[in-house]
Structure formats: structure tokens, C-alpha cells
Chain A
Amino acid sequence: MPVMADRKIDCVGLFCPVPILRVRDALRHMQPGQVLEMVSDDPAAPADMQSWAARSGHELVASDRHGPVFRFVVRKSR
């Protein structure tokens, strides 16, 4: 069953490091367990998001691609 996002942010057109910074800022205003969806068309976004999730401890629940746009679903861990 697809995870419903509590919040969505649109980073299409932006490049590293801005999508990561936007995700970080958005999570700061969310509760642990809540889910954030971010979309980006930066070709570096999949690698950046994986690396950021591994480091930050937040869970990268899903990532997929629709044409040029990547979608990431992140669950705030703490």
C-alpha cells in the first residue's frame, strides 16, 4: 500500500545542495513518524538523498522516477 505523505515539497528546477536543505528544513517542522514527499529533477538527487538518509538516520521509505522527475518518500525517525 502506498505511503501517504503528511507533507510534500517541490524541488523541481533546483540543484544540490538546495533539495537536501529543503528536506532537512521541512523535517524540522514535522513529528517523528510523519512522512515527507519531495520531488526533484536534479540528476544527482538519488545519490544525494541516499547518502543523506544513511547519514541523518531518517528512513528513505521509497524512491521512484516519473520521466525526468524523481520522487522521494522520507519518514522522520526522531
Chain B
Amino acid sequence: MYLDYAAFSPVDPRVVAVMRPFLEGGVGNPGAQHSLGLEARASLDGARAKVARLFGGAPAGVIFTSSATEANNLAIRGLAARADGRHVVTSAIEHVSVLNCCRDLEKQGFRVTYVGVDADGCVDPGTVARALADDTALVSITAASGEIGTLEPVREVGRLARERGVPFHVDAVGAAGRVPLAVDDAHVDLLTLSSNDLYGPPGAGALWVRPGTRLVPLILGGGQESGYRSGTENLPAIVGMGVAADLARAEGAAEVARLRALRDRLLAGLLDRLPQARATGARGAGRLPHHASLVVPGVKAEAVLLELDLRGVAASSGSACSAATGEPSHVLRAIGVSREASEGALCFTLGRWTGPGDIDFVLDAVPAVVERLRRLAPR
């Protein structure tokens, strides 16, 4: 039972099938002049168009990277390096790649406003508006929290940023392909995507940049990706990402409805069977459709996850960072979850191969594990 899709998604076999010839030969370097190189160039541009179509952006704005983390770095550090302003607005619940880029800017003398969130983990656009200053160089807000699933009001924030002429970056990992997101409608200037979150191969990501937005590249070399990301393109992964984006666009709506029904049953069932537990993040339509997260008092997540693993269930606590350090996650702190309660944070993310049987199994397994652990270590 695999319910940790947010951490890693199996690559769709249809994606693998398209990638295979790009790994096995008969394809050149997209920069080469021979016919194989020209074919490779066409495939690269095809992938660019497919990825751009997912969110309605100009294909020329797609810069392929090695990961969403690299894309977030390029967006924030690349933009700040050319900006006149010395102030950045972001939120307290961003991915660590965004937060650490912002802390790096602080070290360089930038001021960073980390706007807080409400108890559901939702950013208030009014708070963002009040944080905007004359020298604000960038606003960066995630489209959805990967840890508690809450969707953020990117459209409203984008409108406010546009009114003030401030570039707006959205980390759309998790949201892309799952919730409607169009860069023109939401006034997005920079958008981060992950290949693997779309069931594409790991090792690819993309930053879309609105034409006219000024950036400095982080990686210098042969000038690939219009000079913004040098290094020979990872063509097999990029082609895979393109196919994955196409599949997400074609199948997204039906799949989202299917996952939302499964997720609703999972979350409601868990809360019903674990009366002391409470859901984290927004409810219903306000959260990612494949995402269920909760805190269970009286148990430690690591113990629950270990027991679940023994029963064949792969889930997570929601935060790889806090799992490594044992610290309460910055997201749970931001929504006011106590240190003690945050120790029992669980996160289940569903995906393309999750079926009703998986949900039934987890609905039996989790309460049994929690009850067993509480018996072993009563508080």
C-alpha cells in the first residue's frame, strides 16, 4: 500500500515507454548539428510546449532544471540578483528550498517578510498586501502546502503583486495537474514544477518565466535553456516530463474526482476511528485532492510509520526535514499545532495507482497501530 505519492510517485509506464528510445540510443545532443541532434532539439521543444500547455504559459518561458528545488533556487536567487529592490515577501509554510533561498538572501542584506497563515495554513492576501513595500523585489507563495495540503489564494496574491508591479513566483509542485492553475489568470510571473509529481521521472523540473522577467542564471556553461540553465539537457527525463504533463492535462479532471472521493473516505474514516485525532490543513475543496493529513495525540509518528511499514503501508509524517532532525515541522508550528501534538503528525498522499482496497486496508491498519502503541506507552 503506497500512500506517499508526495514524496515520490511511480513513473507512469506510458511515460517510461516514450522515454526508452531516448535512453537506449538513436538520439543525439539537442545542441548538435547532425540530424540526430536536430531530432533531439525537436523533442526538447515538444516537451517544452507540452509542459507550458499545462498552465497556459508561453513555451519559450519554460526552463528545464534538474528538480523543483533547482527551479525554486533559480526563481528566487536568480531574480533577486538582478532586482533593484531588497525586500522579499514569502510565507511561513513554504517548501524548505524556498525558505532556505530566502534565508540566503537575508544573509546578503535582503529583508524577508515571512507572512503567517491561519489555523488552516492559508495565507491571507490582505497580510501580503500590507507586507508589500516600495522596494519589494519578489513575492513567492506556494500554490499548495505539500505537508498539510492547503491550497493558497494565488490568484488574489497575484493580483495584488501585479498591481504593485512586483514579480510573483508560485511553487506549483503538488498543485500542478491537480487544481486549475493558469499563469495569466493568476498573474504568475515565475512557476515551479516537478516532473515526478506529475508521474514523470525524477531528475527533471522546470521553471516557467514570463517573457520580460529578468533573471540571472545560477549555472553557467554552454548556454543551454536560453542561457538560464547551462549543461547538456537531460533529454530522456525532459521528454518524460512532457508526456507526464500531457497525461495530467488529459486525464486530470477525472482522476482528481476519483482521488478526492478516496481521500475524503480515508480522512473521514480515520477521524471517525480515532476520536482524538484532528485533521490538519484546510477541508474539502480548500485542499489538494489527493492529500490527507492529521495529528494523532498520544503517539509518535515515527513509531506509527514503522508499524505501518511492517504491515505494508508506506506513509509519512509530511515533512522530510523534521523527520531528519526530530524538530516540529515549521508548517505545523505556523498553524499553531503544539510541539507535543506535532509529534503525532501523519500524512497520506494518494495517487494514480491508489484503489479503494488500499483505503480499506489503511482504515483498518492505522487505528490498530495507534491503539497498540498507546497500550505500549500510555501517557
Contact = CB atoms under 8 A, between A and B. Distances in A.
Interface of A: 15-17, 20-21, 24, 41-44, 48, 51-52, 55-56, 68
Given A16-B96, A55-B339, A24 B103 contact: no
A43 B109 CA distance: 11
Interface string B324-367: 11111000000000010000000000000000000000000000
Nearest to A24: B325
B321 A17 contact: yes
A48 B106 contact: no
Given A16-B321, A17-B321, A51 B103 contact: no
Name B's interface SS.
helix
B103 A15 contact: yes
A43 B106 CA distance: 7
Contacts, number: 38
Nearest to B101: A15
Nearest to B328: A51
Nearest to B103: A43
Given A41-B107, A43-B106, A16 B100 contact: yes
A55 to B, nearest CB: 7
B251 interface: no
Given A15-B100, A16-B96, A16-B100, A68 B107 contact: yes
B135 interface: no
Nearest to A17: B325
B272 interface: no
A15 to B, nearest CB: 4
Nearest to A12: B107
B107 A21 contact: no
Q: Considering the complex of A and B, which 8 residue pairs feature the smallest CB-CB distances, nearest first?
A: A15-B100, A17-B325, A43-B106, A20-B325, A43-B103, A17-B321, A17-B324, A44-B103
